[in-house]
Structure 1
Amino acid sequence: MTLKLYGMALSTNTQRVTVVCHEKNIPFELVKVDLFANEHKSAGFLEKQPFGQVPYIDDDGFVLYESRPIAAYIARKYAAQGTPGLVPSDPQDHALYEQAVATEMSHFDPSASGLSFEMIAKKIFFKTDPDEARVAQLLSTLNAKLDVYEEILGKQKYLAGDEITLADLFHLPAGTRLVKIGLDVIEKRPNVSRWWKDISSRPSWVAVTSSA
């Protein structure tokens, strides 16, 4: 049975899963959930995802929600195919991987996604202008965090070491929004820029963005 991914192609959380499906060469069916029509708040959807957010998967009856655990599940289930090592098995390597995932969740995504909401989503969904004070605050926080990224990536190729992991791929959806907004937070840092060009040019991400 083909894995079914319930989400929306433009959703950053959905994209966090689809890029991993492409990395692991897994056929999947994207079942569109119309966020504009509030389908994610319907009774049928809430039976599968009680928080009313996208995405969730149905893998032959196994239902799982939250994009990062879904991605890890896919990477581990299909460990023998596609890109190897996205979730390291060695205890120390795995700990460094978990550290990098926590870094993305705590130190990158809140500011990057916040800026995307203020500068893109507000205009599209709510027809309102961004809160400039909030934008300034988020940008200041993100710059401080990326200064630390610059140090880390000056010592190793990827966030968890010298091999790519899910932690790197998890940055792609929100990071791409930053580039589209026109913020130079990535380009002005040589090590971050080198890392970003590496991960954002992967065929898996090109496939995701070309179909969104």
Structure 2
Amino acid sequence: MKVYGSAISSVTQKVLMVFAEKGQEPELVEVDPLKGEDKAPEHLARQPFGEIPVLDDDGFVLYESRAIIRYLDQRLPGPSLTPADLRARGLMEQWISVEQCEVSGPVWEIVRAGPVYDILRASDAGGLYPPPPQDAGAAARAHLERAFDIVDTALATQEFLAGAEFSLAECTWLPYLNYLFASRHGHLVTDRPNLAAWWQRVSTRPTWQRVGRVLERAN
């Protein structure tokens, strides 16, 4: 299988994390958004919206990271990352939705309001990254404070987002929280004891150590 994406991209890391948890390794074809490669004609032929990642499974092409990870969980051998219990599965889907609607956007606002914005603007694709609103970082932090308070309460009575088992929900959350730490906003996680304990459990998994540390090497 081929994955078209970037090893330091949060959305690509979701996909790579599922491969790692399954004990598999795809062929990663680097598509660098900072060079505008995601908007190149050859990539648009795979992904007409000009985004990453894209999965190519023997000619079957699939895009959108959350769709890809659900597909891979069914497609690949290895332990299931979707709970068998209906209620636990519902919780997994709930927290994936929370990541999509309440977490990923504010994390991006925090990241681009910091030093990484200068890197984006100086890149070959700098014109695609307009300056963030002046108060975007503060608003994003306030939004995440509330969201993280909610997840901290939920994690008071369970080890993982879906309950007793590591699931696809963790695969979607890990990259964004990793970017918070890389952007010196890890205190938003560590200030909350249950969320901090969860982060310690999931971020020390050998699978994430392989996938997530690429961001440290890139800095």
Query: Fold-level match, TM-score > 0.5?
Result: yes
* Match status 1:34 vs 2:36: no
What is the match of residue 126 of structure 2?
A: none
Pick closer, same or farther for the CA change 1:13–1:190 going to 2, 3 Å.
Answer: same
CA distance in 1, matches of 2:32, 2:107: 24
- Relative to the length of structure 2, the TM-score reads 0.88
2:82 to 87, 96, 100: 87
1:196 to 199, 202, 205: 199
CA distance in 2, matches of 1:124, 1:138: 20
Correspondences of 1:143-158 after superposition (within 5 Å)? 143-158=145-160
Whether the 8 Å contact between 1:158 and 1:164 is mirrored in structure 2 is: yes
Structure 2: gaps (5+ residues): 123-129
CA distance in 1, matches of 2:56, 2:116: 28
Shift of 1:41: 1.0
Which amino acid is the alignment partner of residue 87 of structure 1?
Answer: T
- Relative to the length of structure 1, the TM-score reads 0.90
* Match status 1:72 vs 2:70: yes
* Match status 1:100 vs 2:95: yes
Whether the 8 Å contact between 1:15 and 1:208 is mirrored in structure 2 is: yes
Aligned to 1:63, the other structure's residue is in SS state strand
Whether the 8 Å contact between 1:119 and 1:130 is mirrored in structure 2 is: no
CA distance in 2, matches of 1:71, 1:130: 30
What is the match of residue 6 of structure 2?
A: 8
Percent identity between the two aligned chains: 34
Query: Alpha-carbon deviations, 1:67-104, whole Å to 9, x = none?
Result: 111111111112x41xx331124433322221121122
Shift of 1:140: 0.7
Query: Alpha-carbon deviations, 1:140-172, whole Å to 9, x = none?
Result: 110011111111000111111111111012111
Deviates more, 1:9-18 or 1:202-211: 202-211
Correspondences of 1:117-196 after superposition (within 5 Å)? 117-126=112-121, 131-183=133-185, 184-196=187-199
Shift of 1:129: 7.8
Shift of 1:46: 1.0
Deviates more, 1:110-119 or 1:141-150: 110-119
Shift of 1:108: 1.7
CA distance in 2, matches of 1:187, 1:211: 22
CA distance in 1, matches of 2:189, 2:6: 26
Aligned to 1:57, the other structure's residue is in SS state strand
Shift of 1:25: 0.9
CA distance in 1, matches of 2:198, 2:188: 13
Whether the 8 Å contact between 1:123 and 1:129 is mirrored in structure 2 is: no
Structure 1: gaps (5+ residues): none
Shift of 1:132: 4.7
Aligned to 2:188, the other structure's residue is in SS state coil
Computed over aligned residues only, the root mean square deviation of the Cα atoms, in angstroms, reads 1.8
Whether the 8 Å contact between 2:5 and 2:30 is mirrored in structure 1 is: yes
